A and B are shown apart, each in its own frame.
Chain A
Amino acid sequence: MNATEASTAPMIEVEGLRKSIRNGARTVDILRGLDFAIPQGQFAAIMGASGSGKSTLLGLLAGLDTPSSGDVRLNGTAISYLPEDRLAQVRGKTIGFVFQSYQLIPTLTALENVLLPYELNAGETQNGLARARELLTSVGLGDRFGHYPVQLSGGEQQRVALARAFILRPPIVLADEPTGNLDSTNGEHVLELLLNLNRKEGTTLVLVTHDAVLAAYADRRITLRDGLIVSDEMHSDADVPAVME
């Protein structure tokens, strides 16, 4: 999907977002006032050097952290100051999260890991099984339903994490360096899956990355430096590397 086809209604809105932390006697300003909106269906990459605040921003977008000031709205709902249980419900139904280090539950099988958001938010296990199996198969793990994370390679674990992120067809997927721990082959595969899901399902995708090649696939690149947005560019299909076509 390109920028012109994306809906104009903002799926993610950020207003005056600030985040500071105390480190002993010092106060460290991580984010120093961000304002932007991401429309529905857009694929946005958040870039920046190490320490620029991109992972912190992603955490705030997911409601995993509390801003020092400002707010985040997801699909019209302001989330930053919601009570934790209410926020968990919003997250469960609205966001799919892909961690850099996969963060699968080690005691659950691949199938159970994918099923978990369904069980937490939607309904009975039996009803979600078909979708979970379909997703795992679609990411190439149709023969690994009963494997535990420790029995899977890094790439396979990340694919399970992807399937988990998409089981509830969330309107938003947030991914924190999803290919950071993977080799190039696996990284490309994961990216392909993400892009397919973005295009087919119309999911709004926000990706934190320092990889320019990865960012090239995004509809929009937001670059952070020292806690501020220094550039916010839309891009055209001409920017997409040839290898993916």
Chain B
Amino acid sequence: MARLSYRSAARVAAREMHSSRGKFFFVILSVAIGVAALTGVRGFSSSFRATLLTRARSIMAADVSARMFEQPTPEEQKGLDEIAASGVEITPVTELLSMASSAKTLDPLLVSLKAVDPAMYPFYGTVELAPVASLKSVLTADNVVVADDLLVRLHLKVGDELKIGNKLFHIASVVVNEPDRLSGNFAAGPRVFISREGLDASGLLAPGSRAGQRFLFKLPAPRDGSAMPDSAVAALRARLEKLLPEARVIDYRETNPALTQGLDRATSLLSLMSLVALVLGAIGVGMAMRAHLQQRLDTIAIMKSLGASSGQIMKIYLLQTLLLGLLGGVLGVALGVGVQMAFPRLLAGLLHMQTEIHLQGRTVLTGLSVGVLTTLLFTLPPLLDIRGVRPVLILRRAVEESDDPFVSAIFRKLRKNGAQIGAAILILAGLAAIAATLSDSTMVGGVFSLGLVSVLAVLLGASALVLTGLKWFLGRTRLSLPSVVRHGLANLYRPGNPSAALLAALGLGVMQIMTVYFVQQAVVRQLHITSAPNLPNVFLVDITPKEIDGVRALIKAQPSVTAPAEMLPVVSSRIVAIDGVAADQAKLKNFPKRMLQSISLTWTAGVPPGTSAVAGKWWQAGERSPVVAVNQRDAERLGVKVGSHITFAAQDSRFTATVVALTKADGQHAYSRAAFILPPATLAGLPVVWYGGVHADPARVGELQRALYRAYPTVTVINVAQALETVRSVMIQITYVIQFLAAFSIFAGIIILASSIAGTRYRRIKEVVVLKTLGATRRRIATIFSIEFAMLGLVAGVVGITSANVVARVLLHRMDVVFHWQWGWSTVALVGTAALTVATGWVASHRILGQKPLEVLREE
């Protein structure tokens, strides 16, 4: 047998494509939509994530920060210089308490000084000033920038002078928003920004002064504009923890756990949507190629009768497939880039932020290769079927159509045909590999792949069961059913009808679409809870026990306060021993020993809002024995776990508490800053100071500040409204993007499913011709097919939606998000699926129904 060269095969393949351009457009479109969704979703979410993460970093104003209480040793400084030489930017921030006074008031005021290099600080975010100006331009050696609280207390205004240490400074501006306020200490005293030269000139930094030093670090941004990988941040952090053992090193993710959790969930969800887009596209390709090859059976039989081998014919159609995949991939990438560029414009009204779109070569290449690969993978089974086409088919076609549509045919085929089994395994393995590569979350990739396999198995099993049951029912009720119903149901068993394949494709598509919907709905709901507008945005510091009731009453009476205040008592303490080891000999991990001397303890009966126990168990109300719940991160640093014993000293008393729980806080509530929580009885009788958090209308915080100052001048008010607004707005933006991208993926999925259904219309043409010849009206024919489609849609819908609920539950459980079975939406989706299949069938068959039968046959 002569070898068929690739050139000849390509010529045959191209000639065939040229003669049926319309049909091939279907296949190309399926690939293109899948790749477009993949490229668009991934590309946009990557750019969006980069923008979001930049905003998230503004809460720390850096990627990583290291808090120290002493100057770095020469060796530590050398290490820092090496880090700087590698491209990491470093700037110091010095915080200390000092007294400040003005000529207008005699009493000095305790202020919270923050000395920065305005040319570098902040690395992320902006210090907003009033009047509007850049920090760099106003914070000279002779100027300071102050919180409006200071102006109220000292009866000063912008332009007046303020004495700090030995020097008189000019008040240049008011701080409206300090981006990293949430990550700093909530120390008493209004904020005052001072330059480093100013600090030196004030003479405040002398040996023995209790200044806290923070070093802020910024990694060099990736050149392609993508988000900084968390691995780079983690690597820098690890390096710093090793270099500065006495420093408290944290990265930006710790400053607001709720925000980073929201970002993580968004990442997972966006990964999921990319994968769903991929598989939906693949389904469209598989269905389209199957339908295409079905129509080529005569051609293939003729070629075989002329002497072509199965291998030669497969070569032709393999080349055709590659070309289709490539064309679809290129079109899809172009569409995806267009979508990526269009998203920010479409979302501009909602996002209120500029998302810089960076076209990443990697994303484009991924989309293209995925498009070709999935086309090849999903075309394998119908290509392998070519080997089974017998030349006699062209002679005895009408009699020989014995292609059993039952799912059992699939198993029969697999049993007979080892290559089909191999192809099936290859497809699943290929999809899993692609999923793992594409997914930014290995968890999502893993669950998705497993879910896919499980769902396919369930779908096939459920399809077999339903079809068998239906056949049994038909057999027993045949002639008693209305003829249209009988005919419509019987059509499910039409020889060559891809009922099983279509059921599996539809069911899988429905499952994926609904999984995206359920997961995004739950994540968005969680994000809304987390970014609820009534969370504390003003913190009160240093409220005495005598003042607490009065402060509560005052706050309650304030019209600007929109939610009850969260108050927590704080007892100053120190850690004396850990598990019997004296504090100065304890093995700590990046927990400065000096910090052991000033530990804040608080008490509460039950789990406070915004806090959860991640290990151990909370105590019952009325607990009298000394137990303690420790923040998880601090526990790691101190080397304690559930069951450890910590000895605290407060004033003259000393007690040892057993660690019964480790906690995690969302960073949004007053108690989020409490690292050590004990039951009330343990701290009874110890001197206490109260801290509080309230939610005030951001535009009216000044009102609250003035009211509090008048009644309780020693209480410090820390306004973090702006900073929290950043957090909240980031959360809201995440929700918009998630919903938008989910809707896009769902829409793309529906189109692909519709095209898969429409692709089966060829099978119906001949039947329509016969029915019309026998006198059937269009309405009758449409009714018969509607029943067939509706049944397909209902079966696929039930199986797909049930699977979606199960997969969503698993995914959300792993994301730590609550999920409830969605009865309402499941019902809507079920009806929607049936309606979609029926509507698509009508749309696809409309032309056939309206034209003369032989005209249609001729055009086909």
Contacts and interface: CB of A to CB of B under 8 A. Distances in A.
Interface in B488-519: 490-495
Main secondary structure of the interface of A (DSSP, over half): helix
B486 interface: yes
B770 A120 contact: no
Nearest to B788: A107
Contact of A106 (B478, B494, B778): B494
A164 B778 CA distance: 20
Given A106-B401, A108-B487, A84 B774 contact: no
A38 to B, nearest CB: 19
Most A C-beta atoms less than 10 A away, residue of B773, B778, B851, B852:
B773
A164 B853 CA distance: 19
Contact of A91 (B398, B401, B775): B775
B760 to A, nearest CB: 14
A49 interface: no
A103 B773 CA distance: 11
A107 B788 CA distance: 12
Contacts of A105: 487, 767, 770-771
A102 interface: yes
Contacts of A84: 772, 778, 849-852
A175 B10 CA distance: 43
A108 B475 CA distance: 11
Contacts of A164: 774
Nearest to A102: B398
A91 B772 contact: yes
Interface in A145-186: 150, 154, 157, 164, 181
B620 interface: no
Contacts of A63: 852
B494 A107 contact: yes
Interface string B747-771: 0000000000000000000110111
Contacts of B855: 65-66
Nearest to A56: B854
B779 interface: yes
A106 B402 CA distance: 10
Given A65-B852, A84-B850, A107-B491, A112 B777 contact: no
Nearest to B777: A85
A107 B493 contact: yes
B1 interface: no
B854 A65 contact: yes
A179 to B, nearest CB: 15
A108 to B, nearest CB: 6
A120 B487 CA distance: 11
A181 B400 CA distance: 14
A83 to B, nearest CB: 10
Contacts, number: 99
Interface in A93-122: 93, 95, 97, 99, 101-103, 105-109, 112, 115-117, 119-121
A115 B479 CA distance: 10
A89 B399 contact: no
A21 to B, nearest CB: 7
Interface in B823-860: 849-855, 858
B776 A120 contact: yes
A121 B775 contact: yes
B483 interface: yes
B854 to A, nearest CB: 4
A139 interface: no
Interface string A113-133: 001110111000110010000
Interface residues of A, number: 40
Given A66-B852, A84-B778, A107 B773 contact: no
A59 interface: yes
Contacts of B766: 103
A88 interface: yes
A9 B853 CA distance: 29
Contacts of A116: 483, 771, 774
A64 interface: yes
B784 to A, nearest CB: 10
Interface string B151-187: 0000000000000000000000000000000000000
A65 B486 CA distance: 29
B483 A125 contact: yes
B780 interface: yes
A88 B495 contact: no
B774 A106 contact: no
A235 B682 CA distance: 122
Interface string A71-94: 000000000000011001101110
A31 interface: no
B479 A125 contact: yes
Most B C-beta atoms less than 10 A away, residue of A102, A103, A107, A109:
A107
A118 to B, nearest CB: 9
Contacts of B490: 107-108
B493 A59 contact: no
Interface in A41-84: 59, 62-66, 84
A117 B483 contact: no
Given A21-B858, A64-B854, A65-B855, A88 B775 contact: yes
Contact of A64 (B483, B487, B773, B849): B773
Given A65-B854, A106-B495, A107-B490, A150 B402 contact: yes
Nearest to B402: A150
A116 B490 CA distance: 13
B775 A92 contact: yes
29 contacts: A21-B858, A63-B852, A64-B769, A64-B773, A64-B853, A66-B855, A84-B778, A84-B851, A85-B779, A88-B772, A88-B777, A88-B778, A91-B772, A93-B775, A97-B773, A101-B398, A105-B771, A106-B401, A107-B494, A107-B495, A108-B490, A115-B483, A119-B483, A121-B774, A125-B483, A129-B479, A150-B402, A164-B774, A181-B398
Given A84-B849, A99-B770, 13 more contacts: A21-B858, A64-B769, A64-B773, A89-B775, A101-B398, A103-B770, A103-B773, A105-B767, A107-B490, A119-B483, A121-B774, A125-B479, A129-B479
